[in-house]
Amino acid sequence: MYLLEAKQIHKSFGDNHVLKGVDLSVEEGQVVSIIGPSGSGKSTLLRCLTQLETADAGDISICGMTMTEDRNGKAVYSDKAQLRKIMLDVGLVFQNFQLFPHWSVLRNLTDAQVRVLGRSKQEAEAIARDLLTKMKLSEKENAYPCQLSGGQQQRVAIARALAMSPKILFFDEPTSALDPELIGEVLEIIRELAKQDMTMVIVTHEMTFAREISDKVMFLEQGNVLAFDSPEAIFANASHPRIQAFLSLLNK
Amino acid sequence: MDFFFDLIRMKPETFYSIMEQMLEGTLQALEIFVYTAVLSVPLGVLVAVLRESKLKPVSAVTRFYQLIMRGTPLMLQLMFVMYGPYYMFGIGMNRFFACILAFVINYAAYFGEIFRAGINSIPQGQYEAGKVLGYTRVQTFFHIVLPQVVKRVLPPTGSEFLVLVKDTALANVIAQPQLFDVAKKTAGSTVSVVPLIVAGIIYLLMSAVVEAAFNHGERKLNYYQ
Ligand SMILES: Nc1ncnc2c1ncn2[C@@H]1O[C@H](COP(=O)(O)OP(=O)(O)OP(=O)(O)O)[C@@H](O)[C@H]1O
Ligand SMILES: [Mg+2]
**Nearest CA-CA distance, residue B225 and chain A, Å:** 6
List domains and CATH numbers for chain B. Answer: 2-220 (1.10.3720.10)
Q: Does A34 fall in a domain?
A: no
Sign of CA dihedral A93, A96, A101, A106: positive
**Cβ(B56)–Cβ(B64) below 8 Å:** no
Say what the pLDDT of residue B4 is: 77
Q: Does A124 fall in a domain?
A: yes
Verify whether the Cβ–Cβ distance A112 to B134 is below 8 Å: yes
Instruction: Provide the domain count of chain A.
Output: 1
Verify whether the Cβ–Cβ distance B125 to A98 is below 8 Å: yes
Nearest to B133 among A52, A144, A164 (CB): A164
CA distance linking residue B27 with residue B11, whole number of Å: 25
Verify whether the Cβ–Cβ distance A160 to B225 is below 8 Å: no
Low-confidence spans in chain A with pLDDT less than 50: none
Verify whether the Cβ–Cβ distance B143 to A116 is below 8 Å: no
Verify whether the Cβ–Cβ distance A101 to B143 is below 8 Å: no
Say what the pLDDT of residue A132 is: 96
Sign of CA dihedral B187, B188, B191, B193: positive
Q: Does A192 fall in a domain?
A: no
A54 touches chain B (CB under 8 A): no
Mean pLDDT by 10 residues, chain B (225 residues): 75 87 95 97 95 94 97 97 93 94 98 96 96 95 94 95 96 93 91 91 97 95 88
Q: Does A98 fall in a domain?
A: yes
For residue A101, what are the domain limits?
94-165
Say what the pLDDT of residue A105 is: 97
Q: Does A117 fall in a domain?
A: yes
Cα of A176 vs centre of ligand 1, distance in Å, is: 16
Share of chain B above pLDDT 70, in %: 100
Which candidate in B121, B127, B128, B132 is best for mutational testing of the A interface (most A CBs within 10 A)? Answer: B132
Ligand 1 residue neighbourhood (C-beta within 6 Å): A 13, 16, 18, 38-44
**Nearest CA-CA distance, residue A240 and chain B, Å:** 35
Nearest to B144 among A50, A96, A100 (CB): A100
Number of alpha carbons in the 13 Å side-chain half-sphere of residue B117: 12
Q: Note the ipTM here.
A: 0.94
| β partners of residue B158 | none
A82 touches chain B (CB under 8 A): no
Residue A230 gets which letter from DSSP? -
**Nearest CA-CA distance, residue A65 and chain B, Å:** 17
Provide, as residue numbers in chain A, all residues whose Cβ is less than 8 Å from the Cβ of B133. 112, 116, 160-161, 164
- The helix/strand/coil state of A84 is helix
Amino acid found at B89: F
CA distance linking residue A144 with residue B223, whole number of Å: 8
Say what the pLDDT of residue B124 is: 96
